[in-house]
């Protein structure tokens, strides 16, 4: 800032000498707010304008440290960079309905198929972001030429820098803190990039993304010592030894249809409200299937995408953030890839925008032949986050009928998504005394989704598809968040609940339906989402490699290990955040025994192995080593 004492009009002098800064701030604010409107027409500006102003202040604060000519060049170059970033973001948003990240750009090769359609979306209006860059060229030259270079003391420059920088940072800290309270994992998982950008603005979004990207790469860059790699390799080969042949190859050659149901929590199964079943269709199909009634979700910061990741890879979720975001460049030995190697056509189907959870990149990285996302469906009915389960499942059925057999179809539903507030569209389930509560709205939404699942399964049967297919259905994670768990305890008539009580409710139903309703029954093994891939590998007689889970049908013991280090062996539950053990039968706290201590240490090491496998992309190197040894 050039503060100079002039008798005549100080303001004019100040404006004249700081026109570059003022113009830059005005232009940047206009562009960034225009962009905010483009990615969310319905969004109020009050919130995002603060972090937008903060990010511009921070950029400008660096400019005031420079000599005038350099300052003008610096601001002009920043303007050009941000304009191109906004155009790139707009294009990416137009196609993927999402925001570009460094990881997505790094995977741009995986998006090869759509780059032409993305660029075809460019229109003149988008180039408006560059209009000032072009118009200002002559003015910048004239401004620099007529510029009276005034000596500004370093102290004044530094104080201007410190004031602007601190104001900018404090506004940003306030916005980021508020967001971290509202959605604790969003800043690391970046699951909902649009929402994140709406809340902190485009520049801050890319700053957060850059930080996460660098942080992940620093973790990945540290090479593991060879003996540690061997330790992990030996653990995996031991863990993937076949320990039985129950139903080995029973599904060989059959289609595989896996349906991941949004927020299907186990407490609704075989339950009624005022005599009406909450999930009559699932209850019916459970009686026709092999039902796992001690099956836990094991998601962490990646939420839904963690459920997908574990199901298709049997690798634990990332220690922070989402594997779908942080490790989309890794090599995976995933279920779709192995089935494809065995002649299967593989497809993922989900009615939301392709970029959500970085699915457009991660489904390719996991080897799916095709991903049928929002653009592949006729969005003829929307409930909650997007395409209704009814329309999604009806349209998906038509797609399945066209798939070359044998195929693996991985479907992810959407309607029954928290906070379940599209109540009038869920149909007429009477939630009785739970009406107008989160739990009551959830019951309505899951009753709706159950109805659509029932219709879908009945249609599969009518079309003769069930005759030659294995159908797996499971829930992705909790429906009632911990902060509202008392609504669930009230529904279940539970008093003085403990951490054990809470954990026992973190089950999701998992059913495997065989043709002719074969192998039906209830399996009580304590298991989780990490175990589905090894279990299917046994049914389809696929090689088991690099999996951290177990084949539930042929395992020598119950085990569920959670990302936060908590675990159960079917008799005891260990709660990591209180370092407490509970006896499941009595519900009482018990002392740590040597055996339990060893389990805790072994499991903690197992989580480290999984983290190192992801950070070092070890499956790729193990696979290459194996090729070498097989030669």
The catalytic residues are 304
In whole angstroms, the minimum distance from the beta carbon of 261 to ligand GP9 comes to 11
In whole angstroms, the minimum distance from the beta carbon of 314 to ligand GP9 comes to 20
For residue 292, state whether it binds ligand GP9 (rule: CB under 6 A). Answer: no
For residue 303, state whether it binds ligand GP9 (rule: CB under 6 A). Answer: yes
For residue 476, state whether it binds Mn ion (rule: CB under 5 A). Answer: yes
Binding residue for ligand GP9 (CB under 6 A) from 18, 304, 326, 334? 304
For residue 193, state whether it binds ligand GP9 (rule: CB under 6 A). Answer: no
Residue 526's binding partner among Mn ion, ligand GP9, none (Cβ under 5 to 8 angstroms by kind) is none
The contacts of residue 99 (CB under 8 Å, 6+ apart) are 39, 89, 92, 93, 193, 194, 196, 197, 202, 205, 355
Q: What is the CA radius of gyration of the chain?
A: 28
For residue 191, state whether it binds ligand GP9 (rule: CB under 6 A). Answer: yes
User: Which residues sit opposite 606 in a β-bridge?
Assistant: none
Contact 168, 58 (CB under 8 A): yes
Binding residue for ligand GP9 (CB under 6 A) from 356, 474, 567, 609? 356
In whole angstroms, the minimum distance from the beta carbon of 416 to Mn ion comes to 9
Coil/strand/helix, residue 573: strand
- Across 342-480, the runs of DSSP E, i.e. the strands, are 345-350, 370-372, 382-383, 386-387, 407-412, 469-475
Residue 414's binding partner among ligand GP9, Mn ion, none (Cβ under 5 to 8 angstroms by kind) is ligand GP9
Binding residue for ligand GP9 (CB under 6 A) from 83, 266, 311, 352? 352
Give residue number: closest CB to Mn ion: 304
- Cα–Cα nearest to 371, from 391, 388, 349: 349
In whole angstroms, the minimum distance from the beta carbon of 451 to ligand GP9 comes to 20
Q: Which of residues 404-463 bind ligand GP9 (CB under 6 A)?
A: 412, 414, 417
- Across 476-588, the runs of DSSP E, i.e. the strands, are 510-513, 521-523, 527-528, 560-561, 567-568, 572-575, 580-583
Given the DSSP bridges, would you call strands 272-273 and 276-277 parallel, antiparallel or unpaired? antiparallel
Element (H or E) spanning 257, and its range?
A: strand 255-261
In whole angstroms, the minimum distance from the beta carbon of 335 to ligand GP9 comes to 18
> 499: exposed, middle or buried (C-beta count within 10 Å: 0-12, 13-18, 19+)?
middle
For residue 79, state whether it binds Mn ion (rule: CB under 5 A). Answer: no
What whole-number distance in Å separates Cα of residue 429 and Cα of residue 146? Answer: 74
- Count of Cβ atoms closer than 10 Å to residue 266 Cβ: 24
| Residues belonging to the chain | 631
- Kindly state the number of chain residues that form the binding site for ligand GP9, as judged by CB under 6 A: 10
Q: Which of residues 229-268 bind ligand GP9 (CB under 6 A)?
A: 262
Element (H or E) spanning 590, and its range?
A: strand 589-590
In whole angstroms, the minimum distance from the beta carbon of 307 to Mn ion comes to 7
Residue 191's binding partner among ligand GP9, Mn ion, none (Cβ under 5 to 8 angstroms by kind) is ligand GP9
Write each residue from 367 to 406 as x if it is in contact with ligand GP9 (CB under 6 A), else as -, in one continuous string. Answer: ------------------x---------------------
* Stretch of 67-75, 88-96, 265-273, 468-476 contacting Mn ion, by CB under 5 A: 468-476
For residue 311, state whether it binds Mn ion (rule: CB under 5 A). Answer: no
In whole angstroms, the minimum distance from the beta carbon of 310 to Mn ion comes to 13
The contacts of residue 50 (CB under 8 Å, 6+ apart) are 171, 174, 175
For residue 304, state whether it binds Mn ion (rule: CB under 5 A). Answer: yes
Coil/strand/helix, residue 28: helix
For residue 189, state whether it binds ligand GP9 (rule: CB under 6 A). Answer: no
Binding site for ligand GP9 (CB under 6 A): 191, 262, 303-304, 352, 356, 385, 412, 414, 417
């Amino acid at each position: 800032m050039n503060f100079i004492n002039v008798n005549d009009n100080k303001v004019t002098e100040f404006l004249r000498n700081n026109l570059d800064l003022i113009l830059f701030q005005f232009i940047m604010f206009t562009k960034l707010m225009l962009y905010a409107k483009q990615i969310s027409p319905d969004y109020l500006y009050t919130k995002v304008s603060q972090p937008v102003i903060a990010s511009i202040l921070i950029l400008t604060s660096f400019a005031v440290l420079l000599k005038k000519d350099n300052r003008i060049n610096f601001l002009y170059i920043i303007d050009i960079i941000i304009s191109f970033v906004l155009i790139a973001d707009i294009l990416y948003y137009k196609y993927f309905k999402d925001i570009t990240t460094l990881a997505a750009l790094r995977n741009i090769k995986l998006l090869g198929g759509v780059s032409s359609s993305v660029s075809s979306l460019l229109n003149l209006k988008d180039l408006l972001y560059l209009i000032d860059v072009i118009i200002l060229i002559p003015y910048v030259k004239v401004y620099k030429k007529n510029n009276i270079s005034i000596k500004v003391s370093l102290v004044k420059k530094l104080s201007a820098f410190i004031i602007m920088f601190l104001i900018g940072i404090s506004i940003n800290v306030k916005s980021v803190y508020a967001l971290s309270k509202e959605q604790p994992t969003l800043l690391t998982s970046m699951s909902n990039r649009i929402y994140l950008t709406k809340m902190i603005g485009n520049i801050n979004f890319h700053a957060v993304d850059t930080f996460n990207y660098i942080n992940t790469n620093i973790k990945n860059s540290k090479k593991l010592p060879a003996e540690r790699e061997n330790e992990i390799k030996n653990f995996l080969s031991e863990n993937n030894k076949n320990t039985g042949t129950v139903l080995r190859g029973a599904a060989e050659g059959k289609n595989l249809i896996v349906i991941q149901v949004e927020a299907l929590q186990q407490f609704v199964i075989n339950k009624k409200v005022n005599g009406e079943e909450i999930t009559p269709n699932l209850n019916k199909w459970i009686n026709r299937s092999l039902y796992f009634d001690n099956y836990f979700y094991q998601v962490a910061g990646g939420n839904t995408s963690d459920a997908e990741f574990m199901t298709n890879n049997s690798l634990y979720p990332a220690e922070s953030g989402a594997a779908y975001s942080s490790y989309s460049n890794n090599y995976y030995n995933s279920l779709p890839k192995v089935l494809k190697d065995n002649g299967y056509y593989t497809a993922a189907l989900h009615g939301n925008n392709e970029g959500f959870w970085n699915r457009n990149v991660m489904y390719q990285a996991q080897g799916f032949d095709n991903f049928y996302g929002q653009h592949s469906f006729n969005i003829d009915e929307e409930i909650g986050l997007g395409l209704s389960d009814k329309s999604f499942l009806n349209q998906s059925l038509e797609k399945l009928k066209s798939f070359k057999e044998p195929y693996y179809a991985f479907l992810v539903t959407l309607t029954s998504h928290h906070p379940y507030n599209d109540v009038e569209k869920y149909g007429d389930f009477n939630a009785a005394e739970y009406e107008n509560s989160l739990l009551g709205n959830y019951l309505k939404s899951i009753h709706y989704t159950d109805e659509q699942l029932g219709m879908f399964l009945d249609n599969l049967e009518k079309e003769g598809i069930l005759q030659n297919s294995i159908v797996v259905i499971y829930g992705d994670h909790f429906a009632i968040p911990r902060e509202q768990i008392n609504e669930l305890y009230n529904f279940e008539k539970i008093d003085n609940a403990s951490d054990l009580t809470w954990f026992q409710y973190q089950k999701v139903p998992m059913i495997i339906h065989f043709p002719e309703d074969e192998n039906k029954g209830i399996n009580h093994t304590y298991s989780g989402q990490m175990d589905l891939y090894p279990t299917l590998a046994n049914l389809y007689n696929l090689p088991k490699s690099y999996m951290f889970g177990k084949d539930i049908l042929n395992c020598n013991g119950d085990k569920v290990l959670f990302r936060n280090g908590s675990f159960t062996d079917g008799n005891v539950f260990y709660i990591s955040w209180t370092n407490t053990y509970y006896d499941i039968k009595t519900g009482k706290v018990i002392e740590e025994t040597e055996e339990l201590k060893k389990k805790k240490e072994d499991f903690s090491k197992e989580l480290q192995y999984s983290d190192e496998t992801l950070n070092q992309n070890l499956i790729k190197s193990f696979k290459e080593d194996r090729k070498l040894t097989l030669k």
